[in-house]
Structure 1
Amino acid sequence: MGERNGNQVMYYLRDRRLDVCYDEESDNDVDGEEVHEEIADEQDADEDSDFDELRRRQVDEIEENIQPRLGRPRSVIKGKNNFKWSTIAPESRGRRSFHVYLPSAREEAKNVSTPLEAWTLLFTPEMLEMIIQHTNEEIERNRVNIENQNASFCRNTDIVELKALIGLLYFTGMEKHNHTNLEDLWSPQFGYNLYRAVMPERRFQYLLQNLRFDEKNSRNVRRTEHALAPIKELWDAFIVNCKKYYSPSTNCTIDEQLLGFRGRFAAQVYIANKPDKYGIKIVSCNDVQTSYTIDAEPYVGRIETAAGDTVPSYYIKKLTETIRNTGRNITCDNWFMSVNIVREMKHNYSLSMVGTLRKNKPEIPSTFLQSTAAGTVRYAYADGMTLLSYSPKRNKVVLLLSSLHKRGHMNEEIGKPDIVAFYNATKGGTDTFDQLCKCYSTSRITKRWPMRLFFGMLDQAGVNSAVLYNLREANSALNCRSFLKELTFSLIKPHLEDRLRKSTLRRSVRTLVSEVLEVNEHRSNETGRLQKRKRCSVCSWRDNKKTLYSCASCGSPVCDDHRTHFCHNCA
């Protein structure tokens, strides 16, 4: 069966055009916190408004003294660390051949036919059973503190109920109720019938309070090995599934996603130009065409890197393990980019890179930092890399480095260099994915960071599974909201059917469940007749009233005083 291309998938996923906001890392690091500066337009990706005017004049004087002595343009220029660049483009060796990859599903993902099947590939039954096991352990520990230990709201949970809980979380995100008070959600006046039909408010709250994802007794030991210990096993399983069932297109993006969180977390970051400001940072690798998350790594503080490696290079190598030696391209911003990592990824892993450079890199020639007339373009070449200094307007300089482009060319249609046009077209994979997650986020207010990360995983699974579902051409195309609607109903339906089979379910709730399932419970216009007289189940035992009739719905014996007759239409 055929597959849709990436552009078609993104067209179906978006309910409306998403205005992607691209972020920039500042050249400065203040008190160990990351400071991002908002970009005025897409060409200002590496603008430094604090450029030293004195240093600029000094450079101009040096160039004025050197140029007359040379009498001709120099073919070799050097950076601050004497790194050599050539101003002469390398000779072209004819047409270059490279493989073009299209986004595609792998293994079982090729045959998914429903949203639930696609979602189950990423959140497998084994992962849900692990959550159930540790959640029931927490319920058992907390049950001793409850006065009535036989209360129905504090019973152990199962996989059917857990799926229903997740379905309600998706529904709250879909209806923008994720920050609404629970009392209002379950209110007959202001809430939705679906909430009361699936489970009581107290049960929903109790399950969220007791959700756990690891063995509590061994947590402190595992935390010494990794700070993500309370949810690491679940996270690792989720990322393995994301990588297993998807093959990305030719171009990928590595960037940061911020999960808003104001509680206590050792590696909490502050990013000024993100909507949430504070939270948990996730460094993610996404497909440019579909925004599918291929791999991701939460930031948990200090990282032990190999000798000579930097933290950005660690993330690039870690997140590109599944696409090494494939000839794909990675686009990233100036926090990740450096001459060393671009060269290493090209020679050791056959991956090209395109991105902006910070102006404090020692390999950059001083002449490339000078501000010139608008539209000025300067190129330098070294070891298969192309360095671009571009002035989109006066007193602004953008530095880009590419190992994909062998020679510098201008795009005549837009009046910008090809490298700038390519970077602007491929830098938004992660930002678009982040916006799709936030559009229908399941995140509720919590003080527990593992829960915030779990909500983030649900959002990521929702977007990724929607991509897998829409890739199959035989499936009807669904946008994110329509996909989540079908997924929500598929998750809660088994639990609703279980509730409907309970004879003790209140009549008002039974009516709600029947309406949600669109089941018409037929009631006979006559009560059932018993073979033997029995005591009325409603009357006091002191009255000792016997009857030959029973309730047609639940079968309980009822006397004439407690029987009600309905016609077929009213029943």
Structure 2
Amino acid sequence: MSARISNNLRSAKAVAAALSDSEDERLSENSNDGSVFLVSNDEDSEIEKVKGEDVITEYEDDDEFDLETEPASKQRRLNKGADRQSCRGSRSSGNPNFSTNTKNDDMDVETPVEAFRVLFDDAILDKIIIHTNEEIERVMCLLISKEHQCQSIHKKIDKEELCAYLGLCFYSAYFKENESCVKDMWDDVFGRGIYRATLSGKRFEFLNRVLRFDDKNTRSERRATDKLAPIREIWDIFIQNCTNNFEPANNCTIDEQHKPEIIMSYNCYKGATDTFGEKSHEFSTARRTARWPLRFFYNMLDQSAVNARVAYNLNADNPRLSRKKFLKKLAFGLVEPHLRRRLGIATIRASIKKIIRKLLEIDEHVPAVVSVIKENTRSKCHLCDSNAVGRTRMKCPNCLRRMCDDHRTAICVECSAAN
């Protein structure tokens, strides 16, 4: 604690020095009125207060410099919290100093997906697709070299499927299941149908492993001068998109990086930084991973969702959405094109197609199941060889031709609806 107090004291001295217009106003141990702090060289020693109050007047609201009794300190902390809340209240009540505007007047986004794609544009998605497919090729070559068979989960990714993957990440944030294991999320009984309808669990896990954001062949060379090399390309594009489309207000704090001359008013203006961090972590897409670039990417998704909602709500024609409702609409908007594509794939299970139809609000018409027709007389099956001697009484209910047991089958109602 003493070491922390000493560090804060040195910061306070620097602030006082920066704010002073003359050398006489600077904080020093040889002050004329004797109002000083004496700090011992021993880091475990306590700060000793000498007569006079002028020097510490500006810092009497700081808990680190409060040397009064415990009840008075508690009351002072409560008052400081009320002051901060007052600042936040003035911001929410429409204080123009905290307003946010868009630089581009034509950026009138009408859907959450459009707002998200302003920040995560095609330039970012294309780089992810290129480098992810490069990693998939390496995985497939490795499997072939070990004489393993490549499966459907190892296929390359396209933009539509990548957006669907991002949509599932946002759904996991919406349901607060980002830390749940994939097996539980895709469970037929306890899992959610939106996950199974969009991607298979194995495909989702595979994409988590192979998702890449840079050229792996040149990474070591770039990393020598840039520690952020594995994700630098898309990070710079993302930051550029944010700065090109949003205009900060006059009073802003950038992630608690403040200069000494504004440290005195920092507590009043830092609320937006705290709020942004709180919103980013309240509904987080971050999953447990040992790869820090992937964790960094999840953080970009969280930040983009917060900023995209701001852009969406700035359009007066759009209904104002809460954070949670916006996230839900964004997630569904990203997965919807892929759901419609899967609905047309013949090999998708009928139970999955049933979930997709329900999600897309498509009426499911289940035709009546017609039983086979049984005649009184026997006749030759029209599918059997001409030399066959077998006879049958059964007729196909569609073509009304004879069919034997070897050339007929029975299907369930769900499969009949799918066909």
- Whether TM-score is above 0.5 comes out as yes
Letter of the 1:207 counterpart: L
1:39-88 Cα offsets, whole Å, 9 max, x none, are xxxxxxxxxx996588746x64xx89xxxxxxxx9xxxxxxxxxxxxxxx
Q: Which of residues 462, 480, 494 is equivalent to 2:323?
A: 480
DSSP 3-state at the match of 2:234: helix
> In the aligned structure 2, how far is the partner of 1:110 from the partner of 1:196?
34
Q: Which of residues 368, 392, 407 is equivalent to 1:525?
A: 368
Aligned pair count reads 317
CA contact (8 A) 2:38 2:48 kept: no
Asked if residue 562 in structure 1 is aligned to residue 410 in structure 2, the reply is yes
Partner of 2:130: 133
Partner of 2:142: 145
> In the aligned structure 2, how far is the partner of 1:206 from the partner of 1:131?
15
Matches within 5 A, 1:223-302: 223-256=223-256
CA contact (8 A) 2:140 2:150 kept: no
Partner of 2:159: 159
1:248-273 Cα offsets, whole Å, 9 max, x none, are 222101335xxxxxxxxxxxxxxxxx
1:355-381 Cα offsets, whole Å, 9 max, x none, are 1xxxxxxxxxxxxxxxxxxxxxxxxxx
CA contact (8 A) 2:153 2:206 kept: yes
> In the aligned structure 2, how far is the partner of 1:181 from the partner of 1:55?
51
> In the aligned structure 2, how far is the partner of 1:56 from the partner of 1:177?
51
* Cα gap change, 1:473 to 1:26, in 2 (>3 Å): farther
Stretch of structure 1 that moved more, 120-129 or 511-520: 511-520
Asked if residue 460 in structure 1 is aligned to residue 293 in structure 2, the reply is no
Asked if residue 446 in structure 1 is aligned to residue 304 in structure 2, the reply is no
Partner of 1:493: 336
> In the aligned structure 1, how far is the partner of 2:208 from the partner of 2:272?
32
CA contact (8 A) 2:178 2:287 kept: yes
CA contact (8 A) 1:214 1:231 kept: yes
CA contact (8 A) 1:535 1:547 kept: no
CA contact (8 A) 1:185 1:195 kept: yes
Partner of 2:378: none
CA contact (8 A) 1:255 1:430 kept: yes
Stretch of structure 1 that moved more, 475-484 or 187-196: 187-196
Matches within 5 A, 1:57-206: 60=51, 102-107=99-104, 110-146=107-143, 148-206=148-206
DSSP 3-state at the match of 1:231: helix
> In the aligned structure 2, how far is the partner of 1:207 from the partner of 1:550?
44
User: What is the alpha-carbon root mean square deviation over aligned residues?
Assistant: 3.7
* Cα gap change, 1:179 to 1:102, in 2 (>3 Å): closer
Partner of 1:507: 350
> In the aligned structure 1, how far is the partner of 2:324 from the partner of 2:398?
46
* Cα gap change, 1:51 to 1:213, in 2 (>3 Å): same
Letter of the 1:478 counterpart: L
> In the aligned structure 2, how far is the partner of 1:218 from the partner of 1:534?
65
Partner of 2:209: 209
TM-score (norm 2): 0.67
DSSP 3-state at the match of 1:441: coil
CA contact (8 A) 1:166 1:491 kept: yes
User: Which residues of structure 2 form unaligned runs of 5+?
Assistant: 8-36, 55-95, 371-380, 385-389, 400-405
> In the aligned structure 1, how far is the partner of 2:210 from the partner of 2:231?
14
TM superposition shift of 1:126:
1.9
CA contact (8 A) 1:549 1:559 kept: no
* Cα gap change, 1:156 to 1:54, in 2 (>3 Å): closer
TM superposition shift of 1:560:
4.5
Asked if residue 431 in structure 1 is aligned to residue 279 in structure 2, the reply is no
DSSP 3-state at the match of 1:509: helix
TM superposition shift of 1:189:
1.9
CA contact (8 A) 2:313 2:320 kept: yes
TM superposition shift of 1:182:
1.0
Bigger radius of gyration: 2
Letter of the 1:503 counterpart: A
TM superposition shift of 1:109:
6.0
> In the aligned structure 2, how far is the partner of 1:452 from the partner of 1:464?
19
- Relative contact order, higher structure (CA 8 A, sep 6+): 1
TM-score (norm 1): 0.50
Letter of the 1:488 counterpart: A
